[in-house]
Structure formats: C-alpha cells, structure tokens
Structure 1
Amino acid sequence: MESDISQSGTPAPARQHTWTLAAYCNMVRKRLGGRSVIDLKSIADKSWDIAPGETTVSPPAIYLPGQLERVTGWEGKRFYPYVHPGPTMRGGISVQQGPTRGYLFKDVWLVEGALYKGKASHWLSLKPRTFPTITVDREVDRAAIYCTQNGNTWFGTWLMEDCPTYALARNEGVPVTTAPSARFPLYPQVQAYENWLEMRPLRLRSAFFRELVLFDDLSNNRSRHARYRAMGEKLLAHVAHASHPGVFLLRGSDGDLRLLRNELALAEHLRATRGFRIVNPLKCDVPTIVAACAGARVVMGVEGSQLVHGVNVLQPGGCLLTLQPPNRFVSYYKYLTDRDDQHFGFVVGTPEGDGFTIDIGEVERTLDLFPRHTV
C-alpha cells in the first residue's frame, strides 16, 4: 500500500495495519459452501520460473524377491499414478519434474498459519484455533515465505523440503515462517540446524505484508538437488568426517507408531559384523548426530523422519536402506535418492503384536545387493 500524501506535498507515514477480520471472513465463506474461496496462488500479481523443469527416469529400488508381497498397507498418494508401490519400486518410470516457480502478491494477511487476500487463502499449517486472532504483530514491506503445511507438521519434511526453499526466500525478501504455538511447538533440533545452515528466519504469528513471495518448490529438479546438496556441505563443514561403513538411526517409539521389536538387536548385529555406528537422535544433539552420520556409506533405519539426519549428508553413490512396516509402506526417500544419485533399498518386516520384526539375514542379503564399493 502506498503512503498517503499530506497537504504539504511530502509523503505521510504509511498506515499501520493493526487488526484484521480476514480469518473470520474466510470462515464465513466456507460455511456458506466454500464456492467463493480460491487458492491464493491463482491471483498472484506476478509469477515466474526460477528454475526449469526436466524429465527424469527412475532407477529400480534394491530389494529381495518376495518383499512386496508382504505389503498390506501403503500411502497411495505417494505412488501416483500407481495404486500399489510395486511399479515405483521396479523403476524405469519417466517423471516430468516441474519447474521451480515464484509468485508475488501485494497486501496479504498472515493469521495463525494461513494467508489471506480478499476471497483467496493459502494454508501454511494445519487449521488454526477456533477463534483466531484479529490483531497483527508486524507489518513487513517485502517478505518471502518458505514454510509449508507438511513442513510444519513433520520434522523430516521441514528439513528435506522447507530448508532448501529458504535459499530461495532469502533472495526475495525477509525470510518468514510461522511462529510456534502450544499446538505446534518448534521441533527440538530446529535451532541447532538453523545455526549450522545459516538460517535467520522471522517467525510470525500474524502480519500484514505489503509484498509477499511464495514458491512452488516441490519438484525434484536440478535446482532443488543443488540447494539440498549445498545444505549437506554446510553441515559437513562443521565436523571432521571420513568414509565409514554405515550408520543405524534408531526410531524407537517416537512419532507415528512404527515399532520395530528387534531394532536394538539388529543395530547391535550390524555394529558387530559390519562396523555400523548406532545413533539415537532423541538422545543426541545435532553436532553429535551429524558427526556420526558424516561419511557413512549406508544409512539405515525404520522408515521415518529420523533418517533425514543421515540422508542430509549422504554422498552421491551412497545407500539408504529403509526397514518398512508391512502395514505402512512409504517410499518418500526414494524420490530423494533418485534425485541425488544415491541407491535406495528396503526390507519389509512381518507383523508381531502392535509392531513388526525384520529378519537380520534378509538385511544382510539386501546389503550385499548394493554396489560393492558402497558397502
């Protein structure tokens, strides 16, 4: 919004925006049927390509015969356009990776995890409180938001997706992310990673942005690859590192339940037979975690956010071996290892009580399927 001009002809101070009913107007529109609610990016004042898209062909995953037959549940949206994960794991799929795009807006409100402009909205976190605030904490001339709803929900997604977008945001304005709350507190290891990654975001609960930039940065194109690898190099610059056989990242009972009942026995076996390091991210600080993972030729553990600590610093040609619950098969990491020229493998467990077990012999045989120079 431009400053007013006084009678003397000199610019008057810009009006300060101290309150808004944007969240409540949006709630009313939704209750009336939602037909008038539109996505914010569709009304951008300007949009542009930051980096081009490209076509990639996926390599096959590494796994033993009969593994996929054990799978009883999976996240179907992760395997689009396929219903079952089998085709994705077999590889050879031509994928159109879209471009990285920027969107510029003028006069946008942030209210507790959602952006509003007129009838348009865009959610940065899960639904806010029943009675969102009407007060505005801050007014910003030009900001760039790099956080996403998924990144505000899962630590692994924050580190793998939101943090690479920060590199785009700092070039476009003040990097902004949503402020933590009682419902969505700051992940315990965020500040340590931000320090090492040289991230200095402005955390806001509510704000008025005179200009705001958003991004489409979900495609695994070369730009995203380069920014993610640059993050890894920044982390490695803080620790001494040399090549070593591998790291086993314990999950335990943290997060969504994926209880590997023989997790400790498997980890100890790999330490004794192959020289793996064992790390419990819940009991270690970030410097200790990064130092243990740095140089690992293999990163292993139950599929989940804790694996991101090792994937961050896994080098091209390195291996990721995920231990999959049969009722919750997820292949998110395969898209990252495909992008970053690494090898992805998995072993599917068998149900046991409210958890599952993994056959140690199958882990050994799967490791032997990886290229020899990596294991």
Structure 2
Amino acid sequence: MGSLSRFSPAPAANRSKWTLAAYLHMARKHLGHSPEILLKSLATTSWDIAPGETTVSPPAFYLPNQLERVTGWEGKRFFPYEHPARTMQGGLSSDHGPTRGYLLKDVWLIDGALYKDNASLWLSIKPTDFPRIIVDHEIERGAVYCTQNGNSWFGTWLMEDCVTYALACNEGVPVTTAPSARFPLFTQAPAYEDWLGMKPLRLRTAFFRELVLFDDLSNNRSRHERYCAMGEKLLAHVPHEEHPGVFILRGGDGDLRFLRNELEIAEHLHNTRGFRIVNPLKTDVPSIVAACAGAHVVIGVEGSQLVHGVNVLKPGGALLALQPPNRFVSYFKYLTDRDHQHFAFVVGTPEGDGFTIDIDEVERTLDLLPQ
C-alpha cells in the first residue's frame, strides 16, 4: 500500500486546483465563529493498530542528594509537570494507550498544515507569511507520519517520527512536509533516511482523496519493537563489537545547555574507562553509528544528540544523562524504561552561564550500574 504508484501530480484539468481552506480557517478563528475541532474527530473510520498496556517503571540510578539540586524541569508534552523525583524513584504504574489509525477523506495540505472543513492540524511551526491557495499534487491515499515536534527538533524526529514511518508505509504513501528556507531539513536526516530505507514523499501542498493519521505517542510494545527494528537496520551497516561506552558531546548546538567541563569529563572517561568520544557536529552519520554501536553505556549532556547512541543501545545497556540543575528533563527515562535499558543521571551545579559536573560523581554513578 505504500507504493509511490499511489501518488501522481494533479491531472492537467486540476493542476491549478484552488482552495481557501487555510484562509477560511484563519477567518473562523479570528471571528470566533466556531470552536476548535480536532481533525481526527472528522475521520470516516478509526481502528487500533496495536494494543495498549500497563507497566511499572524501574528506579533510575543516582547518588544521594542529586535531586535536591534540581531547580527547574521541563513541562511540555508528557514530561512531568512536577519535580522529577517521583519519576526517578520508579515504581510508577503507567497506562500506555493503543496505537491507532484514522482515515479521513478530502483533506488539504497547505504549507505545513492539514485542513478539512473547519478543523486543522499543524505539522510544522506556523509560518508568518500568507498560506498558498493553489495545490500542486493530488494523492489517492497518503499516510502522514511527521509531527510538529518532529519537524522542530532532530531528536524527536529520529526517535518518534521515523518510528511512525513504518506504520505509514502500511497504510498509504508515506508523506512528510517539505523543508523550507525557514524550516530546512535536518543536516543528518538524509543519511539516516538512507540507512533506514526511508523514501518519504515531501510535499508543501496537496489534496488527499484519502489520508491516514496516527496516534503513536504511547510507549507500548509495538513502538518498542519498531524502535528496536530501526536500531537493527543501523547496526547492519557497521561492523561492531561490545565496548565500555561512548561520550556524545553536545557543545553549543540547540537549546543552550553549556556544560563547562564537558570535554574534560569526556577525556577523563576515555583515559580511565576506554570510552569513545563522538562530536556529532563534526562527524558523519556512518562514523557516529560505528562509534556508538556496541556501547554498554551512552553518556552526555541531556539533549537530542544522545539519540545517536540510544538508537543502537542494546537491552541491558545504560544511558547516563548529565542534567543541568535548572532544566532537568525526564524524556529519555521513558524510552529506556520501554526498551529495557537502565537510566542514570548526575545533576550539575550552576557556574557562570552554564553548569559543571563533578567527575568523581560521574565515576561513582557509573559504578552503580549493573555490569
């Protein structure tokens, strides 16, 4: 069903197909004539692709008094809105919902947003310019796997959107939004897509006769299996054997989380424990995957760059996140819990425009991990 034979440019008679869907939606919101309607609520049919489940979380590995240093934490999406202590202590029962599909008919894609009747769904951050009124393509049956968060952050794209791609291939032509000058394609995305066998259709405007959308944020068994399958595809491209670990540098990329002694810690672990050091900003994807493959431990400042190592981390392996005290993020613990790996952390102390991490605390936390 995912064959590109299901895609064709709009027929000559329809090539200049016009729509004011975006403008009508903008007018309704501005005038307050209609309440917000979820696009998926207009689905012709919906179904469970995979069942949900309930799990109990294991505790993280950390030294005493670490959590007392936390002064701020992430509160978006499913990150906890409360202090991360309860999450890190484990023993929480979590209900992971089913993976679901939704079939809609006659849907417009206009500059990063989907429209049908008086409902919309943004797949990218809202642009500042005026939306288009002409579409270039007509799709018989498409399946959108990208999300607004995935189009905004590399780590989310690789850990979430790419996992949903496998579902899209089973339901129609896998579709994602086309890059633009304001939202370019992630630099390392083409290489990952090549190794993962991803061949999406990138569009800025289109009319879908049928469109499939997904609920695929639950960390259920289906998502675990698809993520593991991604890792195996990456590992198939490189020779690898087990090694102590890899330190993935963050540097100054993305949201600022400036670990002032980052390189000192990395070089210390290289010298004392044989850890490899990877700078993903200066290394190509094949070299990154080769360095991370087989690692028992992945370590680095909490952030998207860690996904390079988590992608190929085996069950029983561990992730050690170096957390800024004013921005503690629990996201990776949910993934390691799902994928039967261990999660550990060290919280830094503020210093100037960044923070520092005690090397001795890193060593002692590593010693807590199962061998």
Band the TM-score falls in, shorter-chain normalisation: over 0.9
Matched, 1:225 2:218: no
- Counterparts of 1:193 and 1:207, CA distance in 2: 26
Structure 1, 216-225 or 78-87: larger mean CA deviation? 78-87
**Deviation readout 1:270-310 (Å, 9 max, x if unpaired):** 00000000000000000000000000000000000000000
Alignment partner of 1:157 is 2:156:
yes
**CA-CA distance at 1:211 after TM superposition:** 0.3
Structure 1 counterpart of 2:335: 336
Residue in structure 2 matched with residue 105 of structure 1 by the alignment: 104
Q: Once the two structures are superposed, what CA deviation does each residue of 1:18-70 show, in whole Å capped at 9, x if it has no partner?
A: 22111111111111126333110011111000000000100001110100100
Secondary structure, aligned partner of 1:234:
helix
Gapped runs of 5+ residues in structure 1? 1-11
Deviation at 1:200, TM superposition (A): 0.2
Identity %: 78
Q: Is the 8 A contact 2:80 2:330 kept in 1?
A: no
**Aligned partners of 1:154, 1:238: CA distance in 2, in Å?**
25
Task: Please state how far the C-alpha of 1:77 moved relative to its aligned partner.
Answer: 4.0
Aligned residues: 361
Aligned match of 1:278: 277
1:187-225 CA-partner distances (Å, limit 9, x unpaired): 000000000000000000010000000000000000000
1:102–1:214 contact (8 Å) kept in structure 2: yes
Q: 1:17 to 1:335 in 2, by over 3 A?
A: farther
Structure 1 stretches of 4+ moved >6 Å: none
Contact 2:16 2:136 in 1 (8 A): no
**Residues 205-247 of structure 1, C-alpha deviation per residue, up to 9 Å, x if partnerless?**
0100000000000000000000000000000000000000000
**Secondary structure class of the residue paired with 1:139:** strand
Q: Helix, strand or coil for the counterpart of 1:170?
A: helix
Give 5+ residue unaligned stretches, structure 2: 1-10
2:39 maps to 1:35: no
Q: Does 1:359 align with 2:358?
A: yes
Alpha-carbon RMSD across the aligned residues, in angstroms, is 1.4
- Distance (Å, rounded) in 2 between the aligned partners of 1:359 and 1:276: 17
Q: Does 1:184 align with 2:176?
A: no
Distance 2:240 2:66 in 1: 34
TM-score (norm 1): 0.94
Aligned amino acid, residue 24 of structure 1: Y
Amino acid at match of 2:34: R
TM-score relative to the length of structure 2: 0.95
CA distance in 2, matches of 1:68, 1:13: 63
Please say if residues 78 and 332 of structure 1, whose CA atoms lie closer than 8 Å, have aligned partners that are also in contact: no
- Partner Cα distance (2:113, 2:33) in 1: 16
Q: How does 1:199-238 map to 2 (within 5 A)?
A: 199-238=198-237
User: What is the SS of the residue equivalent to 1:207?
Assistant: strand
Does the aligned pair in 2 maintain the 1:26–1:37 contact within 8 Å? Answer: no
More contact order relative to length (CA 8 Å, sep ≥ 6): 2
Q: Could you say if the C-alpha distance between residues 130 and 276 of structure 1 is closer, same or farther in structure 2, counting changes exceeding 3 Å?
A: same
2-side partners of 1:79 and 1:69: how far apart?
A: 22
CA distance in 2 between partners of 1:345 and 1:17 (Å): 56
Q: Which residue of 1 aligns with 2:128?
A: 129
Please name the residue that 1:23 is paired with: 22
Q: Is the 8 A contact 2:79 2:329 kept in 1?
A: no
